Amino acid sequence: MICKENNNEFIPFGANDSTSLKSIKDPTHFFLEEMDQFTFKDFGFIYSRLRTQKAFTQLYGAFNTERVFQSHWIRKVLFDGEYKDQAVKLLCNYTDNYFIDQEDYLGKLRLIAGGNQAILNAIAKGAWGMIRTGGEFWKQFDENKHVRTVNVDKETTIHVSLDENVNPYVTQTLWQIFPETKDIKQVDELLCESPKNNAPKAAKEFIEWMHKQNYKAVVFVYGDPSANKRSTVDENSASFYDKYISELRNAGFTVVNKVRRSAPQVANSAAFINAIYESNYEGWTITIDADCLKSIEDYILVKEDADGKMLKTKVKDNETGITYEPQGH
């Protein structure tokens, strides 16, 4: 959009890959919608693009507080860190919207909160969210203890764990294991939304990631055995893993398929991982990279059901009509 009075332009731009903003020449302002979904690397790159001499430069951002955990970079850098005095913060909530029936809207927010005061404080008052309310699956996960910046070691094997859910996305969490120091590290996450939410395109996303890391060694693949089922719509009856692994091998990678014939007991697996989180069981540690925002959100929010398994709550997207599980991937 171009303003006829002064010829200034407003350019709406998707930022799934922040480096794509290189194509915008001499920007003077950026506005980051859903700023909490940007990683700190994204923020740093975008901020560095404000180097034009045309005008005073500014960066704006807006986000909902209920998804911002304590160690999120927004809180660490702009609210609690060394740059807190360089950022102007404005708290807004439903009472600032004079175009709605505020009493009616508060009633809707109470309905969404479902009696949880912590959630209501976040969505109605702008209080910080991501507060544990009990019944978490990963009981001992602590974002202040287990989240920090993790660097990829291109000489160490990559392990990819897959969740084939089409909606909201095909999930790929990328891990490295260091037996000598007994460290397990999640180095990245790849969340493949439509139209990339199928096996071949998800594999290509992973291949591109490995090329960027200059990684050329063996890949270990893990996931839910249910995705081994033969497809009735594929002409070769190939399963999700068949297609995924085929793409990796065609790209020149050696792949070790570690998907079991049957899934291990979920409650026992959770107890084992929680023991590592809580007390470094047998000397092992787990670290999650700070830029794995969706993973961290999932680890904080996913609940436990009556049988000790993950509680797979479903929600419906009002725009698409699609029902999906927001957590547990």
3 state DSSP class of 98:
coil
Domain assignment present for 157: yes
pLDDT at 318: 66
Domain assignment present for 298: yes
26 — alpha (psi -120 to 50), left (phi > 0) or beta? left
DSSP assignment, residue 150? -
Domain assignment present for 9: no
pTM metric for this prediction: 0.74
Domain assignment present for 42: no
pLDDT at 170: 93
Q: What is the CA radius of gyration of the chain?
A: 22
CATH number of the domain to which 296 belongs: 3.30.420.280
3 state DSSP class of 159:
strand
Domain assignment present for 123: no
Domain assignment present for 115: no
**What is the number of structural domains in the chain?**
1
CA pair distance 326, 66, nearest whole angstrom: 15
Q: pLDDT of the chain along its 329 residues, tens only?
A: 899 998 888 888 776 666 767 767 778 888 999 999 898 988 988 888 887 776 678 899 999 898 888 888 999 899 988 889 999 999 999 999 999 999 999 999 999 888 877 788 888 989 887 777 788 999 999 888 999 899 999 999 999 999 988 888 999 999 999 999 999 999 999 999 889 999 999 999 999 999 999 999 999 999 988 766 655 345 566 889 999 999 999 999 999 999 988 777 888 899 999 999 999 999 999 999 989 988 988 998 899 988 888 888 887 776 677 888 777 77
User: 285: domain range?
Assistant: 143-324
Domain assignment present for 31: no
Domain assignment present for 186: yes
CA pair distance 78, 243, nearest whole angstrom: 43
pLDDT at 328: 79
Rounded to a whole number, what is the largest CA-CA distance in the chain? 68
pLDDT at 233: 43
- The answer to whether the CB of 23 falls within 8 A of the CB of 62 is no
pLDDT at 281: 95
pLDDT at 100: 95
Phi and psi of 257, rounded to 5°?
-80, 110
pLDDT at 235: 55
CA pair distance 306, 20, nearest whole angstrom: 46
pLDDT at 146: 93
